[in-house]
Structure 1
Amino acid sequence: MVALPIDNDTDALHALSVELAGAVDAAEVVEVITAHCAPLLRASMVTVSTVEDDGTTLRLVSSVNTPTPVVLAFDTHESGATLPAGDALRSGQPVVIRSVDELHERYPGLTEVDLEHNALCVLPLLRGEEPVGVLGLGWCDAAEMTAEVVELSQAVAEVCASALYRAVAAAHPGHDRTRSEAALASLRSLQAVAAELAHTVDLSQAAAVVLEHAVIALGAEAGALNVLDDDGTECTQIATVGLDGTEMAGLTSWQVRDSSLARELVRTGLPILITDSECLRRRFPDLVTQEPRQEAWATLLLTSGCRNLGIVSIGWREPREFSSEDVSLLQTLADHLAAALDRNRLMSSNDALLTESTRIAETLQRSLMPGPLPEWPGVTMAAGLQPAELGTEVCGDFYDAFPAVDGSLVVVIGDVAGRGVNAAGLTGMVRHTLRALARDMPPAEALYRLNRALVEGAWVDEPRLLTAAMLRLTRLDHGIRAEISLAGHCLPVVVRDRVAEHVGVPGMLLGAFADVRIGTVTVDLSPGDLLLLHTDGVTEARRHGVEFGESRLLKLLSAMTDPRPDDTVEHVLGSVDWYRTTAPDDMAVLVVRAT
């Protein structure tokens, strides 16, 4: 793993969240925590203990001392014992100890322990009120455990607790079906939001659209949107939904510095989830007396690039536990709101009026674009995406790759019908939904469920159409097995010993018919074999009326000597650009090579 940067706490906290989001089980979550918390918090010791199924026992699962790492043997102790970990879990607050003398005075049972650290912070890992474990931190120099470090440690503990809870919950029966159903519901909500926002130019109307859908999709009772001024110091409330059943009488402004929640949100950039009133009193006591009194709140920062644009809050009258799917849907809705805010800001200047639609689509698609392709032992990968309109990021073609729950690797490429705002919105929603579905089920089933959601959510005069190819890669003793499912997409190409040939069974376009056929085939790849996926922008490029075509692509690939994935992607895209004499189309290419 790559060590996190320590010169920027916000960036490091974001990077930790990304690492934790990619961990598929509890062991990986613990590994990420122990590997990254030390540099992030400048700590010389990091320990992680988890709560056993009996709810009364803590198990020490990882303990690392830096700069010389020493992994200790597993140990167990009762969570109710008079120890810092037990006190942290019972109180729900960090136990902060600033000297060895203070430790021995507060916990006489530890007087015989040879402790090399002069300062300790033991933090409860809680999911709402449910204990998940304990995070222990130590510093050789007590001066390094400043109030700011303790505050940052609490934010880290919140992120770690959520990831650990998700990993443990994922192993329980019935979790797969729940995640799939939630993903389908999320897709329907996001489709409705994108469809309405595509025709909305008024900021207040856009805010009302997103807030209303968030309230409905998540069963909430209230929502509020605040915009930040250019300096990021003052918030102005511009839209509310469901607050005591009344409409907002006028604009309400307040200072960020006057709210501990807003200060933490702006500092970390991470969603703040309040599960009940007790959680609110514990974390943000200055907000307890404020009205309205919802029990649970989710508050997210709206950003575009490096600019903070606003704050959105969604409230529930009853206590609530937030699943990873809830957070994912909230973040995607927040991205929609951020795009609307950014559009309003751009339209205020005359030079932005002509590019308003394109800029919105870019903001939306950029916020939902996948990161770098993951590393997965057994393969090397590369991909390229080229929009039809040079100089813009608006593209209806997409690709993605991510690990599944069972350890396999899922790879997907697709082509959404249309261009601009609608295509960019649908592209992001499809990627979001396929990630949720394909982690837990075969590719064909994931595509079938996506089609059902697309058909049910489509308008008569505005169908949602796309083609897709999805792979699930698993390791063999000597190579890789690829399960290939196609839905109206171009046939993949396998290159073996400088011979390129098509593989796969054609399927049907998604979004057009309720009963769709998905073509599925299994292909084994030996070391050195290459598998290429592409969209139709590659083969349908024309030169004086003649298509580039499938046969030309096969000849091009067969002629390459020992093709590497990155060289292959560059060669294919470059060859098509050279060949065509007509207007370009969106193109995406993704190459997998067995190592």
Structure 2
Amino acid sequence: MARRRPRAVNADDLLTRLGRLTAQARERVELQQARVELAEALQRGMLPAELPSLPGIRIAARYAPARHGLEIGGDWYDGFQLPDGSLAFSIGDVQGHDVEAAAFMGQIRIGLRAVATMAPQACPGEVLGRANELLLATGSELFATCAFFHFDPVTRVLAGARAGHVGAVWATVDGRSGVIEDEGGLPLGIQPGEAYPVTRRRLTAPGALVLLTDGVVEGPSLPIEQGLARVAEVAGTGAGAAAEELAAEVMGVAALSDHTDDAAVLVLRHDGVS
């Protein structure tokens, strides 16, 4: 059988093929960039426009998107006043990244607000439990870690519960600080009927409580234990500063971790009992 001679490839053919491949690559890059921009817009649009404040307590927050742009996900923070005048706070992190995670984050944040507002006397553990059942009912395959806190300005009791979330950091203006690692439950959206233990503390000494997501304290350059220790150190030296300043300083720890995830910080700066 006669063998077919290969067709000669000239410069015009090569340029045409190269142009086609370049156009395809550009389309893929533009599509991915559009998804990243949409996810980031969803993320920022679903975060609260403002945070509450009461005499003796100031709240500030910071959010930083992932450094490389492809890990935009579902980190969030929230703070709002309940009908009885008390304050509620939440912070969390949705598993996964991209538009779906950002949208799921919005569902969780609003769900927590709705549950807490409709049942203002419910403890943080009950709020997380009801939110967990609500998320399971949606049928989503995503889940989220979360911490929920309730502050009574009259008794100055801070009650909190965790759903698989990284511990908070406490500090007082005299330089003491530490990491709160109270017992918690599974992340939201995994198991029905999950219980979330509640821990209560009375804030008598002036200081600060720092809530954060793991993007702040964990990354290629920083193990989570070292990251939390670094935040405790920062909070111990900055507990007397304004809430906005302390939030910015804590977010600076994320730069040390070389984090690829997004990161959120929520600071509660409180005065002592007079």
TM-score tier (shorter): 0.7 to 0.9
How far apart, CA to CA, are the structure 2 residues paired with 1:544 and 1:491? 16
Deviates most, 552-561 or 441-450: 552-561
Aligned residue in 2 for 1:588: 264
Question: Is 2:175 the counterpart of 1:498?
Answer: yes
1:527 is displaced (CA, Å) by 5.0
- Cα offsets for 1:451-471 (capped at 9, x unmatched): 112223235xxx221011111
Given that 1:537 and 1:585 are in contact with CA atoms closer than 8 Å, whether structure 2 keeps it comes out as: yes
Structure 2: unaligned runs, 5 residues or longer: 1-26
Question: Is 2:254 the counterpart of 1:573?
Answer: no
Matches within 5 A, 1:403-482: 403-441=81-119, 442=122, 443-459=124-140, 463-476=141-154, 480-482=156-158
Secondary structure of the residue that 1:372 maps to in structure 2?
coil
Aligned residue in 1 for 2:43: 365
1:415 is displaced (CA, Å) by 0.7
Given that 1:410 and 1:439 are in contact with CA atoms closer than 8 Å, whether structure 2 keeps it comes out as: no
Given that 1:362 and 1:393 are in contact with CA atoms closer than 8 Å, whether structure 2 keeps it comes out as: no
Q: Alpha carbons of 1:546 and 1:528: their partners in 2 closer, same or farther (altered >3 Å)? A: closer
Q: Percent identity?
A: 32
1:513 is displaced (CA, Å) by 0.9
Secondary structure of the residue that 1:411 maps to in structure 2?
strand
Secondary structure of the residue that 1:470 maps to in structure 2?
strand
1:539 is displaced (CA, Å) by 2.2
How far apart, CA to CA, are the structure 2 residues paired with 1:355 and 1:573? 25
1:512 is displaced (CA, Å) by 1.1
Matches within 5 A, 1:386-401: 386-389=64-67, 394-401=72-79
How far apart, CA to CA, are the structure 2 residues paired with 1:366 and 1:575? 21
Q: Alpha carbons of 1:440 and 1:561: their partners in 2 closer, same or farther (altered >3 Å)? A: closer
1:388 is displaced (CA, Å) by 1.1
TM-score in terms of structure 2 length: 0.78
Aligned-residue Cα RMSD (Å) equals: 2.5
How far apart, CA to CA, are the structure 2 residues paired with 1:555 and 1:561? 10
Given that 1:398 and 1:413 are in contact with CA atoms closer than 8 Å, whether structure 2 keeps it comes out as: yes
Matched letter for residue 532 of structure 1 = V
RCO higher in structure (CA 8 A, sep ≥6): 2
Q: For 1:560, which of 229, 235, 238 is the aligned residue?
A: 238
How far apart, CA to CA, are the structure 2 residues paired with 1:421 and 1:546? 26
Structure 1: unaligned runs, 5 residues or longer: 1-349
How far apart, CA to CA, are the structure 2 residues paired with 1:475 and 1:358? 40
Secondary structure of the residue that 1:549 maps to in structure 2?
helix
Aligned residue in 2 for 1:510: 188
Aligned residue in 1 for 2:163: 487
Q: Alpha carbons of 1:360 and 1:549: their partners in 2 closer, same or farther (altered >3 Å)? A: closer
Given that 2:254 and 2:263 are in contact with CA atoms closer than 8 Å, whether structure 1 keeps it comes out as: no
How far apart, CA to CA, are the structure 1 residues paired with 2:205 and 2:113? 27
How far apart, CA to CA, are the structure 1 residues paired with 2:95 and 2:68? 19
- Cα offsets for 1:518-571 (capped at 9, x unmatched): 121111112522111111112222327786333333233223362332121111
Q: Alpha carbons of 1:576 and 1:369: their partners in 2 closer, same or farther (altered >3 Å)? A: closer
Matched letter for residue 485 of structure 1 = A
1:407 is displaced (CA, Å) by 1.2
Given that 2:171 and 2:178 are in contact with CA atoms closer than 8 Å, whether structure 1 keeps it comes out as: yes
Secondary structure of the residue that 1:543 maps to in structure 2?
coil
Secondary structure of the residue that 1:559 maps to in structure 2?
helix
Matched letter for residue 228 of structure 2 = E
Q: Alpha carbons of 1:526 and 1:454: their partners in 2 closer, same or farther (altered >3 Å)? A: same
How far apart, CA to CA, are the structure 1 residues paired with 2:195 and 2:101? 23
Q: Alpha carbons of 1:472 and 1:456: their partners in 2 closer, same or farther (altered >3 Å)? A: same
Q: Alpha carbons of 1:353 and 1:540: their partners in 2 closer, same or farther (altered >3 Å)? A: closer
- Cα offsets for 1:292-320 (capped at 9, x unmatched): xxxxxxxxxxxxxxxxxxxxxxxxxxxxx
Matches within 5 A, 1:138-537: 353-389=31-67, 394-441=72-119, 442=122, 443-459=124-140, 463-476=141-154, 480-496=156-172, 497-503=174-180, 504-526=182-204, 528-537=206-215
How many residue pairs are counted as aligned between the two chains?
Answer: 239
Deviates most, 408-417 or 540-549: 540-549
Q: Alpha carbons of 1:380 and 1:524: their partners in 2 closer, same or farther (altered >3 Å)? A: same
Matched letter for residue 238 of structure 2 = M
- Cα offsets for 1:51-78 (capped at 9, x unmatched): xxxxxxxxxxxxxxxxxxxxxxxxxxxx
Q: Alpha carbons of 1:474 and 1:524: their partners in 2 closer, same or farther (altered >3 Å)? A: same
Given that 2:239 and 2:246 are in contact with CA atoms closer than 8 Å, whether structure 1 keeps it comes out as: no
